[in-house]
Structure formats: C-alpha cells, structure tokens
Structure 1
Amino acid sequence: MIFTAVFVILLSIFLLTNRRYRWFYIIYKTLGRDVRAGIRFTILNFQLWRYEKTNQTVAKIFTKLVAKHPQKVAFYFESEIWTFEDVDKYSNKIAHYFKNEGFKRGDAVALVLESRPEYVTLWLGLAKIGVVTALINSNLVADPLAHSIQVADAKAVVYGSDFAKGINDISGKIPKVKLYQFGKSDQLLPNSVDLIKELEKEQDGPLTSDIKSGKPRDKLLFIFTSGTTGLPKAAVITNLRFFFMALGIRYMAVITEDDIIYDPLPLYHSAGAIVGVGQCILKGTTVVIRKKFSASYFWVDCIKYRCTVAQYIGEICRYLLAAHASDDRSIPHQVTKMLGNGLRPQIWNKFVTRFGVKEVYEFYGATEGNSNLINIDSKVGAVGFVPRYASIFYPVTLIKCDEETGAPIRNSDGFCQRCDPGEPGVCIGIVNPKKTVNDFAGYADKKATEKKLIENVFKKGDRYFNSGDILIQDEFGYYFFKDRTGDTFRWKGENVATSEIEAVISNIVDLSDAIVYGVEIPGTEGRAGMVAIVDRNNTLNMKQFCLGLKNNLPSYAVPIFVRVMTTVPMTGTYKLKKTELQKEGFNLEKIQDKLFLYDAKNVDYIELTKEKYHDIMTGKVRL
C-alpha cells in the first residue's frame, strides 16, 4: 500500500517536471471537462444542422412551442404573467398591423423601448413577416441615436413615451422615417402614430404563409456594438446566428425547460435579448424580465419568481456584493447557475461563497463575432476554454500582436504567429460561412465588416474574425481576458468608443486637442472614461462642458475624470500619445495638471482633491 502511494507520487512528479510527458498530465487533468464539452458541442452542432436543413426560423420554432404548451408562462414581468399564447397573439397583432401598413420582407424598423414583454413581441411580430428589427440602445441621444437609425436604413421607429424627447430632438435628421409611439397617448409627438391604440383594433390570427416563407439565413435583428472605433455599428443577427448564440449557452450550460431564468439585462443587448429571451423563444423556458436592474431587488425577484438561473454582467456582481453585506442572513433563493460575462477574478470566490451559487458560466464573445468561448466548470477567472489539441475542431486562437496598437505581428513569410501558453495575444476565429459556429454575418455597413477581418493569417486565402481583445491561454486550454485593443473601453457593461466622445467634445468646446481613454479603478469592473483636454488660455467652463456631455452622450459614456493640460505629448508622426496618458491615469502623485471628477448629482466637474483620490483608491467612494 505504501509502495503504491510512493510510486504514484513519484510518477506524478516526473510527469509534472518532464516537459516531454507534460501532455499526459494535461490530458489527465482536463479529460473529464473536454469529454463533457465535446458531447454538448456535438449536440449543439447537430441541432444547428437540423434547423438549417429543415428550413427553420425563430418565428417557426416559436409557433411550434405555442402549439405544444399555449398556457405555459413565457414571461413574468412585475405583476404581469404572459403565457406563450399571449405572446403569440400580441405578436400576431403587430405582424398584421405593420403588414397592412405596407412593410415587407427585408425592411427594417428601429425599436427604442424599455425592457418589457412587449419589447419581445414587437420584434417577434415583425420577424413573422420578415421585417428586421434594429434594437437601439435606449441610452443613446443626439447624433449617435440618429446614426443608429440611419445605418440600419430603418423605415420606421417604434419608441416608448419615455424616449419621445430624444426622438423629437433628431426628427429633423430622419424626416422620411415613420414614427410609432408606444405608450402615453397624451404626450404623442407630431406626425406620430399611437401604436397601442392601433393594435387594439388589429386581429390576432396566425400568419401561416408569411412565417412559412422565412429562411434560416434571413436577417432577424440588428444589434448595435461600439466595435473598436467610431459610432455604433449594426451587427447582423440572422436566424442561424440567433440559434447559435441562444442554443450555444443552453447546451453548454445545460439549461432545461423546467428552469426559470432571471433576465435583468437590457433587451437591446445580445445577452438579454438572445442569451436570455432566446431560451424562451426557442426552447420554452420561462424568463423573468425586469425593466431595469436593481441590486436591492435582484434576489427578491429571484425568490418571488422561483428562479433557478440568473444572468449578470460584471458590474452586477459587484453591485450585489455591495448591496448585501457579509453579515446579512443567508438569502433563501433557488438560483444554482449564473450566466454572464465580466465577473472579475478578484471577487469571483467571494461572490459564489456569499450567495451560495453552485455554478458560474462565464462566457466570452462579441455580438457579431465567431470567437466565442464559455467556462463550463466554474474555473475562477476563465472566460472559456478550447483544448490545445482540439483547436482543429473549433479554430479559435491567439496571435501575437503589438501591445500598443493591437496590430497582428507577422513573420518573414507574411503570416501571423500563434501565441505560446501564457503569452497575451489577439483572439481570432476562422470565418467559414458553411458552418454556423464559424460564420461571420458582419454589420449592416460592408466597410465596417471588412475592417473586422484579417486575411492570409496562417496560409494564403484564409480569413479570420478579429475580436480586438487581448486574451491569455494557459497550458490547460483556459482563456483569460486581459484587455481590449483599439479605441474602446468597457464601462457599466457597455462598450464606449473614444472617437465618438472626442467628436462630441469637439462640438461642445473649441479646443485644439482632446483625448479620451479608459482608466482602471481598483475594485471596479471595466475602465472609467477619462479625457485630457488642452486649454491653453484657461477658458474652459467645467459646468457648461459637463452639461454639453450629458446632453449628447449616454450616461455611461460621460467621462468620469477630466485632465486639463496646456499641451499633450505627440509621436514623431504627430499622433497623440494616448498610451502614456492612460498609464498615468488620474494619479495625483504623478500628475501636475489639474484633475476634475464627475459629479453626476449636480451635473458638474469638481476638482479632484487628495482626500477624494484616496477615497476612490481605497474603495470608500464607488463610481
């Protein structure tokens, strides 16, 4: 017995220290994980293949679910209960109305509305007649809002009453776009139709022939992403893409029809609209929709609706920890699985221990991208994995890149170079239109689509999707998120394009230079926005500047810090040195320039004092 134990220990040490046999140890450690993932991935691929071969669409599949269990609860929302039959009939009303209005297959309609069941029925009803819905970020105002409607080539906008002012402000920029108001009729905008009133008169019968003519590769939705530069881009979501995103999470995380999912995320995001709602629309799982996330009511809602699965983004987890102190009594919820992205490694264990969540399915992937990953065994900090010996079956990989620009580094033959374990690199995924999991439908703007592709990566003629993100893969195949490349940072669960903010700033104040970048704050998810402004004549009015930003940017895009300078560093080719400024951040000990902090309550910027800086760095003040 002792001899056997000693032999096993010595053999383990040998395999661990001998590089030649290290592979045996890695396979031994990951075999169970890889077999589980392989089975689930095979089921997913078979399901996607079957859906395409049988000419399925989201509308067709949902219609079958209604016939299967019409009275099952599809959505819980506040005090409302929507059955599958309710969703079907309401979406039929929408389909009939817009069909009678002259909308036809391939047309686009923009949707600006808060999260609620009608949000889903609106795009589902339009999908039944082949109309594409552009899910507009409801935080957008001014030029970004107008741009999003225009780039989708929307022939109409359906908007909630709460967003009437924003639509009215840009009405001159979209003069030919029809307006349909969903909400309070006493505040109806000029030339706008009271949609709720019109729907009350509409029939709710099935649209059999319209639904039957749909195809798997038809466009279903436009979901907007900031990408790496510029204004929001409309990512094309086909029926097949919707299948892949929703079912990919379903099969890899083993979600069932008996689960109840808590979805407090905005429904204009792919996480809320596809990963969450998609479980209901495609597989009949009940989903709880919340108008807006609340840390105070998160677990209250989960208990009330008996949720077994809950969704998150990284900030949500931090807010929940902050809202429920460690001395709180145990919360009697039934949530066993959390799905999401952005859970920081630093709070991972604390979160699952505090709330007793058994499994965390952290996933990674852009709305439009094909380099998608998921962590199926709750490995702390990992955003997913691909076995190093199995990359041929799922060709997602990391390539070496310039640390400052994110540009791929090519060898003497002109090809890209794969990263070694532990080496940071840009995450890319092969583009193969013949396989749903490797397809890249791109954006509504073809030029924007081409910018996300890298050609001749490992051989002539191949094409890969460039995620624009820096990841690290360890020897066991786990991927860990490191940073974003380009001019984008993530804050409050949103991607923020720096060039968009810089453009707004140039219209607010007549300054020679303004640079926007993201800076890290200890204990906070993502990066906070910061702007360095050149003000040589000391004429910058901080109050007016702040008001201008608030009126022209979404709340999450308003810079938290302002650095006022007389000059900014430039390269030899007269490019602004954003990297140097980013490294200095808002560190008062390194910076001699004046620094200001965003005061959201009073809509102003106040001077950043050493005391306030200390409070931010120690976590006493949360931003």
Structure 2
Amino acid sequence: MKLTTKDMTSSVRRLMSTAQNGLEVIRFGGLTHDVESSPYEVVERRRMYRLRHYFPDEPAPADGTPRPVALLVPPLMVNADIWDVNAEHGAVGILHRGGVDCWVVDFGSPATEEGGWQRDLADHVLAVDSAIDAVGAATGAGVHLMGYSQGGMFAYQSAAYRFGKGVASIVTFGSPVDIVAGLPFGLPYGLVSDVADFLADHVLPRLPITDAMVRLGFQLLDPVKTAKSRIDFLRQLHDREALLPKERQRRFLNSDGWVGYAGPAAADLLKQFVVHNRLMLGGFVIRGQPISLAELRCPILAFIGEVDDIGQPAAVRGIVRAAPNAEVYEASLVAGHFGLVAGSNASNVTWPLVREWIDWRERGGPLPEQIVPMTEHVPTPGPRSAATRVVHTVGALAEAGAGFGKSFESLANSTVRGSVELVGEAARALPRLTRLGMIQPNTRISLGRLIAEQARRAPLRECFLFDDRVHTNAAVDARIDNVVRGLISVGIRPAARVAVVMETRPSALATVAALSRIGAVAVLLAPGSELDRAIERTGAHIVVTDPENLRQCVATGLQVLVLGGGSTRTLDIPTGEGVVDLERIDPAQVRLPAWYRPDPGLARELAFVLVTGTGERLETKYITNHRWALSAFGTATSADLGRGDTVYCLAPLHHSSGLLVSLGGAIAGGSRIALAHSLDPERFAAEVHRYGVTVVTYTWTMLRDILDARVFPAGHAHPIRLFIGSGMPAGLWRRTTEQFEPARVLEFYASIEGDVVLANVTGAKVGCKGRPMPGTAKVELVAYDPIAERIRTDESGFARRCADNEVGLLLGKAADGVDISSGGLRGVFTAGDSWMPTENLFRRDSDGDYWLVDRTDTVIDTVRGPVFTQPIVDTLNDITAVDLEVAYGLPIGAHELAVAAVSVRDGFRLEAKDVTEAVRAIEPDQRPDVVYVVDDIARSATYRPSTRAVQALGGPRPGPHTWCYDRTSETYEVMTEAHASALLEP
C-alpha cells in the first residue's frame, strides 16, 4: 500500500503531538488544563479536620426559602477533592446547581497533620460528629449526611453515636456494612478474620500506610483495568482535546487523590468491622461507648455498584438489617467503586438522583423510580461480582459454558469457606480441650488467673460492658487488684469464706474475681434471700455487699464490707464498727503482706459456694476451681465462643448459669461480657443492639418475659446467634427459636456435686439435655427404684446399667483424688471404682442423648407406680395457651395423685381438649390425674416456677377450669363434686 503525502503529514503531526504532550506529562505529571475547582472557604479548622463550605458567596434564594444542606465525608485513603474531581460535573457542582448548600469534611493527610499517624477510628467519627454540629449551628438546618466508601461508614457511625440528632437523612456510596457477606473473591471469613486479626494486633499499629502504598493497593485490586486505562491514555496522547476533559480525574486517580492511612485507624477498622463485624452486629466502640446502627431512625439511601469489588452489593445491603428502625432505600448502578461518585455515570445518574432524593425529603417531591426500598436478598444479574467474574472467565476459557462456572463458584464459596471455618472452630476448641485435659489437682487455675491472663495477652481489648460503658481487660484487672488490697486491709485471707450479696454490677464481678485472686471462697447469695440460714449453712463470717443491700446484710450481725457506686455516694447506714466502706480505702496505702501471692488457687480447692432453694429445700453447691474451669472451657467450646462474641449475662452471678456459663464461658472464650441490670425487656431490646449481643444466657423461664413483651417481633433483625442456659421448658424453647430465628438454644445440665455436665449442642431435640461435654466426667445411667430410693443391681451385686429409654439415676465418674465420703459411691460396676450420684433421673434415647425426667425427691408415688414430673411439665408447656406450669404429688392416703397446675397466657383460652391432645405424647400411666388452672404461678429469684407457692394456694377444686383424667376414654373432663370425692378423698 502506497502512503500519500497527506498520510505522511498526518503521521508526523500525530507523532509530534504525542511527543509534545508526553514531554508535558513527564515534566509536570500531566497535561495542563483549564478545569478549575469549585470555590470554597475553610470555615472551621480543628486538629482532626477542616470544614469546607462550597460556594460560600452564593446569595440566599430570593423567595427566602432556606437551601437544604449536605455534608459530604470522604474515605480516609482518598483526598477530600473526590467530591469535586470533575468540577462542574462533580458532586458539589451538580448539587449546588440543584439548590443544595454543600459542606465537606477534609481530614487532611496524616503525613502532614500533627499527630496524623496516631489517629484512630474514633477520632474520625468524632470529627464528623463535630462537623455536623458546626454545620447545623451555621445553617440552622438538619444535614443530609453523605459518605463515600469508608466515609459512608463514618456517616452511619456518627449518626448512631449522636442518636440521629441534626441528621435529616444519610446517603452512602459503596459503603459496606456486613463485611462478612461481601468479602472479595468469596474468600472464607475465617481465613480473612484470622489474617486481619494478626495485622491489627502486630503490624498496622507499627506501620503507617503511606499514600504510595494506598495508590498501589487500589491499583492492584483491578490490575487489568489499571493497565487498560494507561494504555488508553497513551493511545490518545496525540489528541489533547479528547484527553483534557478527563485529565483532572486521571491525575486524581494516578497520584493526587490518594492520602496515607494512620495505622491505629486501620487496625480499628480491621478489628471492629472485619474481625468482629460489629458495624453489622452492633457493639462497636467509640471512646468507651458502645454504639449500634439500630439507633438510626432517619431515612437512608445507599448507592450500590453492581460491579463494585470493594463495597460489594451484599455487604452494602447489610444496612437494612443493621438499622431495623430506619427506612432504608437503595439505588443500584452498573458501576464500580470509583464510578459511583466520579465520572460520567456519577454525573448523569448518581448526583441527579441525590438531588431528587433531597427534593423528596425536603419539599415532598416525587421519589425517583430508580430509588426503591431496600431488600436484603437481591439476585445478582449475571456475572458481575469479583468472585463470579473470575469463575466466569475460567468457564469461558474452558469453553464449558455457564454451568461449569457456576459449579466452580459453588465449590469455591461452599467447600473452601466451609472447610476453613470448620478448621477455625477446631483451632479454637483444641487449645481449650487440651488445657482441660492437662488440669491436675495441683494445677493453678482460677477465675482471677484467667482474667489476669487476658489482661497480659490483650490489655486494650474490651472485657465487659455495663451501663453503656466499655471496660478493657487492663482496666478490669486493675480494679480487681485494687479491691484485693481493700479486702486484705480488713483481714481477708486465703480459704476464708466470704458471703457476696450484690446485684449484677461491675463491682460484683470485681469482688468475686478479687476473692479468687486472694484464694478466698466466694459464697454467692441472692439479694432478698434467707441470708441468716444461708450464712449458717455455708460458714461465711463476713459479707461484701453493695449500697442497695446494705441494710439486709447489716441485719445478719456479721461484719459488712460495702463496695460499688463510687466513693462519693452516701450510705443509708453510717460506717463504723461492723460496716466498712471499701470505696474509701486508698489501695496505694495498703501494704501487701508477705503471704500474698496472686491467684494461688489450685484445681482441687474450693472456689465458690452457691445456695439454691428456700426453706427445707435450701441446698448448697460447692464448686472447686476445677469444676468452674470445666464449665467455663466446656461452655466456650460447646458454644464456640470467640473474641467476636458478646455474651449478655441475663442470669445473675449468684446463679450457676451466671457464674459458670455466662462469666466462665465468656472469660474462657475471650468474649466480651455484657452485664444486665435486671430482667427488663425494653432495656434488653436496646442493649442487644447497642452492645452487639451475639449470645444470651438464661435460666429457667427467664426468656418468657422478653417473649411476652414482644420487643423483638418475629422477623425483626437482631445479632443474637445463641441462647445458652439451663431449665428452659420445651414450649418456651420453641417460642424462643421461632421469635429469634435463626438463633438457637444451647441447653446445659450440670450436677450439684461432681463433674457431670451435659450439653444439647445442636438444639435439634427440643427439651433434651444432650450429651456429656468433652473433658467432663464419664457418665452412666443405672437402674433405680425411685420409691425405695435405691440402685437396682444384677445377680453379681453390681449396679445394672439402663437400657435405652429406661429411666435411671445419672452417675458421674469421680475424679482421682476426690473425697467421696460425703455422698459418693464405691464398687458400683467394678470393685473399688468410685462414682458421684447426681440428684436427677434421666432416660437415654437410642441416639445416646439424655432426657431429664425428674429429681429423685419429687417423683410422684401413685397407686399405679412412680410418675415423673418433667415430661408432664414439658408437655403442658408446649400448649400454646399455657404460660407456666408445675407438677407435684398430692397426698391421698398411702399414695399420691399426679397433679399439674397451669397458668394461661394473656389473650388465650385453655380447654380440656387442648390438654387431652397434648398429653397423648406421654405414656398413659405417666399422665397427670388432675390438671387445673390457677391465676398465676409465682417464680423464684432464678425464674423457676414455684411448686410450693402453688401448693400454698390449696389443691384443685371442682369447677370448669379443673379437669380430671378418664382412663377409659383417655380424655380430660371437667371435675365435678363426684369426681372430687372419688379422687381427692382417701
């Protein structure tokens, strides 16, 4: 082909233009252009930020109508000029022409700001909080708070921190909330979490992330696109007019737009929002205050990039669950992360939509069609996410079509993710089980010791939350040491038994841990209980209490130590002889004696004494350090507790569930502990979100009050994954899992004596107590005569093991060195073996799971043989109309009638046919003779329905709400006077 003179001239000109423009790029970093920034002035300068006001000289509207106000927040790694990259076609320019008054937060660069490399996440959230106040004061209007990427996360957090005050709406662009749902390339969360945890702890606090590192990191996220943009630029280098309109944006992306990232802020981001996902779950911490996005009640608009690999759609849509009290909308664009806020797509779609959104909120204009209410699950329209892009490419190259790609993606997302998370669970469980297996009678192990270990390992990690304040491991450990000095100054020594009568509060936890650190024994008593009898039974000689229970404790006549409420509060009873205010003792002035060694407790030594029941049923539980550790590590393992969990301690510390399960499990699992004041459904609902509660502990019917209050209606978003405790009736169990779906129940059983601990880990069998936890005592079920109260033996004289579904006495193998002289058994199955009997009867099903059927002392002795109360209670509780129930034996001559009393839920009606239908699940001989309705069933301090209170009301009486069982028709009928005479008289 022959070149003409014209072609040659054109080529030379193109070559000359390319060379000239290239030289300009080399010398000046880019092409000189006439595109100017929008005018602004800095109206406020603070240590953390500068507040820009764009178009400050713009006159007010002629009609006097105030302009709506927008406050725009950039992400940390991007210059605040992101809002004005395209000047006339950028965010502030378009919004300004739409009548919006624009303000921008400029964090500056940590490389140039004083103390910039030490900034943490809270600094930036509080900066936005301050900027909202400043803009509100200057304009007198509520602000439309807007944030791009992490700037949107700051917008959510700041608005929640101030409970929405002064915020008219929130608009975010590619801002992830549920980090777990949108990890790049479908990476397994367990793997990412572990890496992020390591970086946050050991790398980022020591390594500032410079602007060059930030720029390189973003370019590596999509190297193909980066290379393509540079090739396109070189190809068009000859055409200056074509390049100039995009030159400012190109230079912004290539160099000018990136700023460094302070290490502490990056560490906070990874810790709170990647490792623990607390933006989604709640409970992220700003200067010691727990915050939840559930506090948001203003309207929210989230822009979603369908091909955004950083703020992936699933992660962005997490806001609809994280903020259940807000109206949440979305606008979805076929755009990447940067394209949401800059470029032609943003100019033509994003910012006009934002302007219309503000018109809708401020002036009642129509809601744009592209803005729709957000739904959590939206199918992805084709291969657009990062993970599906990779799979789609692989499938195309293999010429195997979409089916191969889909299968490959499924393999990556399920097999890899599942296996890594399974390995993660095993990695958490193995050290706990190994440590349990290594505990010998002389091993030093105690509550105080574990808390000290946590403080040494991670001093700044959150330990517990109370009254909307967060306390770190180091602060808790220091408080315990101070209480130790106070206790030692008044004569507390190792092995001393000290009664603790306190409400659930930080001081109670500190007291129990301080006694453990000294090596003393904490006798935990419920406030308002029979203190005199309990103290006499337990041998305590001194009482530690809080101001609320001071008078009751003084009445015991023992020396009383008062702790809690701070040194400035006043006491009802003045200090003096018999009353010592520990808050007024200066720990620095206490000289520790030579005998003091912190945390001396050995596994075999007594650590706690619990008192349960009342009157003649008053019982004491003696818990060694080993027994406590067994429950603590067993709970942490069974519930898979980790540092991302927050355990809400509904059960009081003086109950075994509070001490062994809540406190013990959380400490052993490294989880945060949230202490509840009391059982208050409204407070529970608020704190579950604010603290980011993932695990709730209970005892008996405690959750009934929360369910009845309906503070969490079915389908309402919540962060709870698990309820753990003991004694929950079957019907209440079902109601709990239905109302709090997908959370499940983990029911425990622990014997009063010995090391028997059962756990229903899967929760699949409602009402079942499960199987022995790893590391706990070996159990056996032996045949037992509950009327004669003796173990049944075989021809050899050894105890006979029960067959499947046969009711028997549960035994636990006694550990070596345990003294069995107080109730233990020897020679049960072989000569010389030793076992500790429990106080309970069980049956074991064919799967090996154990079901509680009764206590040995509450079996009903009827004329047809023993009747067990627990199956009756569980069956009746499963009736929708039944609220609470008890079953007991009513003496009639030489035997007893099996009687059950029930109360009915408000708004429901219970009829005889309901009872008839329900008890078909029980063998005929085990069905109650009489079922009757009472107005109410009182509960104990641990929320256990009180049989004694029901009996005190008198037995069943003839009437329409008392039904007796007809064994001929196998139905329940209204009890008449004739029935009563036949049944209730000897």
TM-score in terms of structure 2 length: 0.44
- Deviation per CA, 1:239-279, whole angstroms, max 9, x where unpaired? 22221110011112211122111111011012111211123
SS in 2 for 1:248: helix
Aligned to 2:731: 346
- Deviation per CA, 1:341-384, whole angstroms, max 9, x where unpaired? 22333343443132113432222112433221112222222544
Question: 1:111: Cα distance to partner?
Answer: 0.4
- On the 8 A contact 1:270/1:367 being kept in 2, the answer is no
Aligned to 2:603: 216
Aligned to 1:234: 620
Greater Cα radius of gyration, structure 1 or 2: 2
Q: What is the identity, as a one-letter code, of the residue corresponding to 1:159?
A: T
Question: Are residue 284 (structure 1) and residue 670 (structure 2) matched?
Answer: yes
SS in 2 for 1:331: coil
Aligned to 1:94: 483
Question: Are residue 365 (structure 1) and residue 753 (structure 2) matched?
Answer: no
SS in 1 for 2:701: helix
Looking at structure 2, the residues matched to 273 and 392 of structure 1 have their Cα atoms a distance apart, in angstroms, of: 19
Aligned to 2:717: 332
SS in 2 for 1:315: coil
SS in 2 for 1:450: coil
Aligned to 1:480: 851
Looking at structure 1, the residues matched to 583 and 734 of structure 2 have their Cα atoms a distance apart, in angstroms, of: 50
Q: What is the identity, as a one-letter code, of the residue corresponding to 1:371?
A: V
Q: What is the identity, as a one-letter code, of the residue corresponding to 2:624?
A: T
Aligned to 1:187: 572
Question: 1:95: Cα distance to partner?
Answer: 0.9
SS in 2 for 1:158: strand
Q: What is the identity, as a one-letter code, of the residue corresponding to 1:180?
A: L
- On the 8 A contact 1:405/1:485 being kept in 2, the answer is no
Looking at structure 1, the residues matched to 793 and 443 of structure 2 have their Cα atoms a distance apart, in angstroms, of: 43
Question: 1:420: Cα distance to partner?
Answer: 0.9
The 1:247/1:391 distance shift into structure 2, 3 A limit, reads closer
- On the 8 A contact 2:760/2:771 being kept in 1, the answer is no
Following superposition of structure 1 onto structure 2, how do residues 528-607 of structure 1 map, counting pairs within 5 Å?
Answer: 528=886, 569-571=892-894, 577=895, 580-583=896-899
2:831 to 436, 456, 460: 460
% identity of equivalent residues: 20
SS in 2 for 1:411: coil
Question: 1:414: Cα distance to partner?
Answer: 2.3
- On the 8 A contact 2:631/2:660 being kept in 1, the answer is yes
Q: What is the identity, as a one-letter code, of the residue corresponding to 2:561?
A: Y
The 1:37/1:344 distance shift into structure 2, 3 A limit, reads farther
2:805 to 422, 428, 437: 422
Question: Are residue 320 (structure 1) and residue 717 (structure 2) matched?
Answer: no
The 1:37/1:473 distance shift into structure 2, 3 A limit, reads farther
Question: 1:570: Cα distance to partner?
Answer: 4.6
- On the 8 A contact 1:236/1:441 being kept in 2, the answer is no
Question: Are residue 120 (structure 1) and residue 501 (structure 2) matched?
Answer: no
Aligned to 1:297: 683
- On the 8 A contact 1:65/1:283 being kept in 2, the answer is no
Question: 1:469: Cα distance to partner?
Answer: 1.3
The 1:205/1:84 distance shift into structure 2, 3 A limit, reads farther
- Deviation per CA, 1:96-134, whole angstroms, max 9, x where unpaired? 122122221111110011111111100111222211111
- On the 8 A contact 1:93/1:204 being kept in 2, the answer is no
TM-score in terms of structure 1 length: 0.67
Aligned to 1:47: 435
Aligned to 2:559: 178
Looking at structure 2, the residues matched to 417 and 379 of structure 1 have their Cα atoms a distance apart, in angstroms, of: 30
Q: What is the identity, as a one-letter code, of the residue corresponding to 1:260?
A: T
The 1:66/1:595 distance shift into structure 2, 3 A limit, reads closer
Looking at structure 2, the residues matched to 396 and 418 of structure 1 have their Cα atoms a distance apart, in angstroms, of: 11
Looking at structure 1, the residues matched to 884 and 835 of structure 2 have their Cα atoms a distance apart, in angstroms, of: 26
- On the 8 A contact 2:843/2:852 being kept in 1, the answer is yes
- On the 8 A contact 1:92/1:206 being kept in 2, the answer is no
The 1:258/1:585 distance shift into structure 2, 3 A limit, reads closer
Looking at structure 1, the residues matched to 522 and 644 of structure 2 have their Cα atoms a distance apart, in angstroms, of: 29
SS in 1 for 2:728: coil
Question: 1:93: Cα distance to partner?
Answer: 1.6
The 1:291/1:329 distance shift into structure 2, 3 A limit, reads same
Looking at structure 2, the residues matched to 59 and 481 of structure 1 have their Cα atoms a distance apart, in angstroms, of: 34
Looking at structure 2, the residues matched to 68 and 392 of structure 1 have their Cα atoms a distance apart, in angstroms, of: 25
Looking at structure 1, the residues matched to 717 and 590 of structure 2 have their Cα atoms a distance apart, in angstroms, of: 41
Aligned to 2:457: 68
Aligned to 1:104: 493
The 1:367/1:198 distance shift into structure 2, 3 A limit, reads farther
- Deviation per CA, 1:265-321, whole angstroms, max 9, x where unpaired? 011012111211123434431111112123343333211210111112341343333
Looking at structure 2, the residues matched to 398 and 160 of structure 1 have their Cα atoms a distance apart, in angstroms, of: 44
How many residue pairs get matched? 488
- On the 8 A contact 1:89/1:205 being kept in 2, the answer is no
Question: 1:92: Cα distance to partner?
Answer: 1.1
Q: What is the identity, as a one-letter code, of the residue corresponding to 1:61?
A: L
- Deviation per CA, 1:150-178, whole angstroms, max 9, x where unpaired? 2332221112333334334443xxxxx32
SS in 1 for 2:790: coil
- On the 8 A contact 1:262/1:311 being kept in 2, the answer is yes
Query: Which of structures 1 and 2 has the larger relative contact order (alpha carbons within 8 angstroms, sep 6+)?
Result: 1
Question: 1:73: Cα distance to partner?
Answer: 1.9
Question: Are residue 450 (structure 1) and residue 826 (structure 2) matched?
Answer: no
Looking at structure 1, the residues matched to 621 and 809 of structure 2 have their Cα atoms a distance apart, in angstroms, of: 20
- On the 8 A contact 1:472/1:480 being kept in 2, the answer is yes
Question: 1:232: Cα distance to partner?
Answer: 3.2
Give unmatched runs, 5+ long, in structure 2: 1-422, 861-868, 904-910, 913-927, 940-948, 966-971, 973-986
